[in-house]
Amino acid sequence: MVKKLEYAIETYNLRKFFVDIHAVDGIDLKIPKGSLYGVLGPNGAGKSTTIRMLSTILYPTSGSATILGYDLLKNRNEIKKRIGVCPQELVIYPRLTARENIHLIAQMHGIAKKDYKERTDELLGQMNLLNRADSLTKTFSGGMKRRLNVLMAVVHEPELLFFDEPTAGLDPQSRRVVWDFIKEFQERKSTIILTTHSMEEADDLSDALTIIDHGKIIATGTPQELKGRLGEGDNIEFKINNPDMRLDVIERAKMLEYVRWGKNLGKQRIVLNALGGLRRISEIMDAVRVEMYDISVRANTLEDVFIDLTGRRLRN
C-alpha cells in the first residue's frame, strides 16, 4: 500500500548561499498537505530564495527536501509537472494579449485546446480581466499585470502552488480579489505556499505560517498560536518628544503590574503591551510622566510577534 502523504513539503537544513550572503541559512519546514502556508518576513529575509529552491528554479547550496513525496535534488522533473509558481517578478509576454498569455502557458503544459479555451475565460473573469482579455499586456496597469501573473501559475491546476508576494502593489479591492482566488484553490485541495511581508495577509489567509529573518526561521505556528504567545494584552503604541527617554518610559510603565512588556520601536516610538490597555491609558500616562501622543491601541498582530522576537518592525 502507498503511504498517504502527510506533508506536501519537508525540508531539512536547507541552505542557499550567494558567495558570502547567507540568503537561506538552514531551514527546516514541514508543510501539511492541503494547507495554506504563509512565509512571512522583512525584505531580504530569504523568502523568495526559499520559494525558488522549493520550486526547482534554484539549486540549494546544501540540505535536502521532499516535495509531494519527490526528492528535490533527484526528481526535479516530477516536481515541475505538479507545481505552479507565481514569481515575485512579473513573467508576462508584453506583446501578447492576456488571453494569449494564458493559452501559451496552457500549451506549454500540454493541455488540449478544447480544455483550456473555456477555462481561460473563466480564470480571466475571476480576476476581473475578461473585458481586457484581448488587449496587449504591455498596455496593462501594474495591478492588472500582477493579477494576470497570478492566473498564469494556476492554468494547469497544480497540486502545489507557490505565490511569491501575489498582492504586492495591489489596491485593497484587487487584493481582496486575489485573496478570494487563492482561497478557492485551497478549497480544491491544493497546497499553497504564500510569501508576503504583509502581516495582515499572512494572518487572514494562512492556516499556519513561518516567520523568517536573516535566512532563519524564528517562529512557526498558526496565526492564533503566534499571537497567543504574547498574551492577551492590548498594544499601546505612541510617540514621546525626547527619544532619550524611551528606556525610562518603558521602565516606568513596567512598574504597573498589568504592563507586560515594552519595546522601543526606534525614533520616538514605543509600544507597550498591557492587559486591558484601552481602559488604562490615563493611568499609564500618569505613570510614565512624559507626554504621550499619536496614541493608538490595538490587539496583538503578527507585527507585534515580529517586534517581540526581533525588537524590530517587519517593515523598514
Please report, as ranges, the residues that interact with Mg ion according to CB under 5 A.
47-48, 88
Decide whether 87 or 277 has the Cβ nearer to ligand ATP. 87
Decide whether 42 or 84 has the Cβ nearer to ligand ATP. 42
Order of all β-strands in the sheet with 234-239: 259-266, 269-274, 234-239, 293-299
Decide whether 17 or 93 has the Cβ nearer to ligand ATP. 17
Q: How far is the CB of 47 from ligand ATP (least distance, A)?
A: 3
Q: How far is the CB of 12 from ligand ATP (least distance, A)?
A: 19
Q: Of the listed pieces 36-44, 65-73, 106-114, 291-299, which binds ligand ATP according to CB under 6 A?
A: 36-44
Decide whether 55 or 120 has the Cβ nearer to ligand ATP. 55
Q: Look up residue 165 and give its three cell numbers.
A: 508576494
Within 40-59, the residues that bind ligand ATP by CB under 6 A are: 41, 43-49
Residue type for position 239: K
Decide whether 23 or 259 has the Cβ nearer to Mg ion. 23
Q: How far is the CB of 294 from ligand ATP (least distance, A)?
A: 27
Q: How far is the CB of 32 from Mg ion (least distance, A)?
A: 23
Decide whether 158 or 215 has the Cβ nearer to ligand ATP. 215
Q: How far is the CB of 115 from ligand ATP (least distance, A)?
A: 34
Q: How far is the CB of 44 from ligand ATP (least distance, A)?
A: 4
Per-position x/- string for 55-94, each x denoting binding to ligand ATP as judged by CB under 6 A, each - no binding: ---------------------------------x------
Q: Of the listed pieces 38-46, 122-130, 249-257, 278-286, which binds ligand ATP according to CB under 6 A?
A: 38-46
